Each structure stands twice: as structure tokens, then as C-alpha cells.
Amino acid sequence: MLGGSGQVGVGLASSLRAAGHEAVVTYYRTPVPGGVPLDITDGRAVGELTRALRPDWVLCPAALASVDHCERDPDLAWRVNVVGPLAAAAAANDQKASFVYYSSEYVFDGSEGPYGEGDPPNPLGVYGRTKLAAERGIPERAESYLVLRTTVVYGPDPQEKNFVFQVLRALRAGRRMRVPLDQVSSPTYGPDLARASVRLLELGCRGTYHVAGPEVCDRYTFARLIGETFRLDVSLLEAVPTATLGQTARRPLQGGLKTEKLEAFLPGLMRTPSQGVAALKQGLRLETGRTAGKGEDE
Ligand SMILES: NC(=O)c1ccc[n+]([C@@H]2O[C@H](COP(=O)([O-])OP(=O)(O)OC[C@H]3O[C@@H](n4cnc5c(N)ncnc54)[C@H](OP(=O)(O)O)[C@@H]3O)[C@@H](O)[C@H]2O)c1
């Protein structure tokens, strides 16, 4: 798996192994135990590794996943999100392996979500354009592939970058946090995304799937849910319009991903935001052996 040190990659490795598969993972800047260092923009290294391992599946959560970073450095975004993955898709195909690419809700413009797999994409920024370019290039290079579009992934994350950890850090520090009320999406519990990825591969599914949580909600409502679940002071959360946040890249506002296609194969696998945040809280408690978060009374 390419990108085994990121939020999605760590979950994928754990789901693959839990299902009895062997998983070799690569990392770029953040070493993982037993991982292989790899820069996905180095096509020769990607080819050599793929030939050496002869995998059945090549999963590629490796990406420049920061939307604003992509906007500031479109060349890097293109190399990491398009050129590298397309070379990896070709290398996988040479070994008769299936290729899995992680794409995003950001291929849509957010004018009238939630979106189905067949709705016309229209990305607003560099990140979404790179994701769409890779989506379109993969079928030309790989006979057997999955494009899994997801969004607002939260859950266990060794680098603690995802939105849940951002909210927890602010509320635990007693700091106010401005959260957009007008960004609507489908929060996705990371371990479910990982499990669904593995099951889709095991079932031999191919093509494009939306793998996202089953409920659409705005960011402020989601932040409140996080605060309330962890019993923190949600009055520190301030609902604001996206336009006031000064973000570099434009965001699709009325987004969200329809998941009926996934549901037909894996009914009930994806957790709602309240189920997912509760599962994360439980997981953190088991991990640390203590209650997570100042202000909790359990
Ligand atoms: N998180 C979300 O909410 C979300 C939403 C929609 C789609 N997605 C997609 O899901 C995938 C996984 O996202 P994520 O949240 O796991 O992102 P992440 O936590 O930022 O992880 C990105 C991974 O890519 C690796 N990487 C970065 N540059 C690389 C390079 N030049 N060569 C090789 N590997 C490189 C990183 O390695 P190091 O950490 O070792 O540097 C890390 O393993 C991405 O394709 C992303 O676009 C994510």
C-alpha cells in the first residue's frame, strides 16, 4: 500500500491484516514500523517495488491531501496526486494487480449535493482537479481498478490531523473555534472506509464507488456533536460562513456523497456521525486507559 503512514493508510493496513491479508506499506516522511520509504513521484522506484512484491492489490491513499497546500503548490499537487498514482496504476497493471485510488467529494462543485457516482464533476480548485485527472487517467492504465471517493474522514489518526482532533484540541484548551455552518458533507468514519475498501476488493467490485458516511450534515453540527460526545464546552464553537475563514482554496459548500451503490454491496457497514464519534471516543479510552478530554465526567 502506497501511503501507509497517513490517516487512511494506517486504517487500511490494520483492516487488511485483520482480514488475514498480508500488507506491505510505504511511507514518505513519517516512518511506520516495517514500512518501506517511497516517494510516489519517483516512477522508477514505484515500478521496482511493485515488481519485487508482485502484489494482488495496490492501494494508493498516498496524496497531497491538504486542499490549501494543493492550491499553493499546484505542481507538487499534480505530481503527487496524478503523475505518481497513474504510474502506480500502470505498474500494478503490469503485475495483474487491482489498483485502488482514493478520490474525493472535491471533484464536485458543491452547488447541489449530495452527489451520486454518475453526477457530473466540476472541481473548484487544484486539489479536486488533480483528483479528477487521476480518476480519468486510471481506466486507461489499469484493467482492474477501484476509484473510491470519500470525504471528511475522521477517526483514529496517529498524526491527529483530522477534524475531530482539531475540535478536541481547541475545546480542551478552552479556545474558541470558528466552524463553517454552510459546508455540508458526509462525515466518514475512517475504520469503516478501510473495512469497506477491503470488502469491495474481496468481493471483486470494480469501478467508482462513494465510500462515505450515510448522513449529510454541516461542519458546525458535526463539531457540536464531537464536543457533546466528549462532554466538552460546545459554547466555544462559533458558527460562521465559510467566506469569513480566509481559506486559500474554495470549498464545495452543498456537498455530500450518496452511498446507495455501496449500500447495495455492504449494507449498514458505514457508521453515522454519532455512531462513529462514539466509537472513536471508546477507542481512545481503550487505547489510553483513561477518559479522553478535559471536562469529561465518565
Ligand atoms: N482525509 C480526508 O478527509 C479525505 C477526504 C477525501 C479524500 N481523501 C483522500 O484519501 C487519501 C488518504 O488521505 P489521508 O487523510 O490518509 O491523507 P494523509 O493523512 O495526509 O496521508 C497522506 C499519505 O500520503 C503520503 N505521501 C505524501 N506525499 C507523498 C509522496 N510524495 N510519496 C509517497 N507518499 C506520500 C503521506 O506520507 P507521510 O505522512 O509519510 O509523509 C501519507 O502516508 C488521499 O488520497 C486523500 O486525497 C481524504
Alpha carbon distance 77, 69 (integer Å): 8
Phi and psi dihedrals of 12, rounded to 5?
A: -65, -45
Instruction: Choose one of 28, 82, 193, 259 to mutate for the ligand 1 pocket test, by most ligand atoms within 8 angstroms of C-beta.
Output: 28
237 C-beta closer than 6 A to ligand 1: no
- Contacts of residue 210, Cβ cutoff 8 Å, sequence gap at least 6: 115, 116, 117, 148, 149, 150, 257, 258, 259, 261, 262
Å from CA of 60 to ligand 1 middle:
9
Encode burial over 57-72: b for 16+ CB neighbours within 10 A, e otherwise.
bbbbbbbbbebebbbe
| Cell numbers given for 7 | 490517516
Å from CA of 297 to ligand 1 middle:
35
269 in a structural domain:
yes
* Ramachandran area for residue 219 (φ above 0: left; ψ -120 to 50: alpha; else beta): alpha
Å from CA of 102 to ligand 1 middle:
9
* β-strands 184-185, 217-218 pairing: antiparallel
35 C-beta closer than 6 A to ligand 1: no
- Contacts of residue 94, Cβ cutoff 8 Å, sequence gap at least 6: 47, 50, 51
295 in a structural domain:
no
Tell whether the model's pLDDT for residue 292 goes beyond 60: no
Q: Which helix (H) or strand (E) holds 27?
A: strand 26-27
50 C-beta closer than 6 A to ligand 1: no
Å from CA of 7 to ligand 1 middle:
7
294 in a structural domain:
no
Q: What is the pLDDT of residue 249?
A: 97
Alpha carbon distance 243, 101 (integer Å): 31
CA distances from 52 to 25, 75, 94, 191 (A): 14, 29, 12, 29
Domains contained in the chain, number: 1
Q: What is the pLDDT of residue 148?
A: 99
Classify burial at 8, counting beta carbons within 10 Å of its beta carbon; exposed 0-12, middle 13-18, buried 19 or more.
buried
20 in a structural domain:
yes
Q: How confident is the model at residue 58 (pLDDT cuts 50, 70, 90)?
A: very high
Q: How confident is the model at residue 187 (pLDDT cuts 50, 70, 90)?
A: very high
22 in a structural domain:
yes
Å from CA of 244 to ligand 1 middle:
27
Q: What is the pLDDT of residue 296?
A: 35
Q: What is the pLDDT of residue 49?
A: 98
137-179 pLDDT, tens digit each: 999 999 999 999 999 999 999 889 999 999 999 999 999 999 9
Q: Domain range spanning residue 183?
A: 7-221+228-288
Q: What is the pLDDT of residue 158?
A: 86
CATH number at residue 239: 3.40.50.720
Q: How confident is the model at residue 287 (pLDDT cuts 50, 70, 90)?
A: confident
* Contact (CB, 8 A) for 107 and 135: yes
46 in a structural domain:
yes
Residue with the larger pLDDT of the pair 286 and 28: 28
CA angle, residues 172, 105, 26, in degrees to nearest 5: 75
Average pLDDT rounded to a whole number, residues 211-236: 98
Mean pLDDT of the chain: 95
Q: Which helix (H) or strand (E) holds 189?
A: strand 188-189
Tell whether the model's pLDDT for residue 285 goes beyond 90: no
1 in a structural domain:
no
Q: What is the pLDDT of residue 298?
A: 30
Q: Which atom of ligand 1 is nearest to the CA of 102?
A: 45
Q: How confident is the model at residue 289 (pLDDT cuts 50, 70, 90)?
A: low
Q: What is the pLDDT of residue 92?
A: 98
